[in-house]
């Protein structure tokens, strides 16, 4: 399964609650998990040649843009 299943193209941030098959189980976006995901994509991009791709960089940037300057516990599906 691709790690990019959770990247949201229509909305900012990431859906974190996915089943093993990649099916979306919940549309709540938890703030702590959003930050961790941005950090992980950033670290993968910076430190691992295999993940130095435009998709990984774009995921990190989009996730960071959603939560920049905010500290919240969760976002709704359509938060921008």
pLDDT tens sequence across 29-72:
777 787 888 889 999 999 999 999 998 898 888 888 776 655 55
Helices (H), the chain: 31-47, 54-67
Asked if 17 and 24 count as a contact pair (C-beta separation under 8 A), the reply is yes
Which structural domain, as residue segments, surrounds residue 19? 13-70
Cα first-last separation, the chain: 27
Please name every residue paired with 17 in a beta bridge, in sequence order, or none if there are none.
26
- Residue 18 inside a domain? The answer is yes
Decide if 5 contacts 22 (C-beta within 8 A).
Answer: yes
Residue 47 belongs to a domain: yes
Return the pLDDT at 1. 39
pTM of the prediction?
A: 0.67
Domain count, the chain: 1
Q: What is the pLDDT of residue 28?
A: 77
Q: Which H/E stretch holds residue 17? A: strand 17-18
């Amino acid at each position: 399964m691709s790690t990019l299943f959770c990247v949201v193209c229509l909305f900012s941030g990431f859906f974190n609650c996915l089943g093993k098959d990649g099916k979306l189980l919940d549309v709540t976006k938890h703030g702590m998990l959003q930050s961790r995901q941005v950090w992980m994509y950033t670290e993968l991009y910076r430190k691992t040649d295999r993940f130095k791709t435009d998709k990984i960089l774009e995921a990190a940037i989009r996730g960071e843009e959603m939560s920049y300057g905010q500290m919240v516990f969760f976002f709704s599906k359509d938060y921008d």
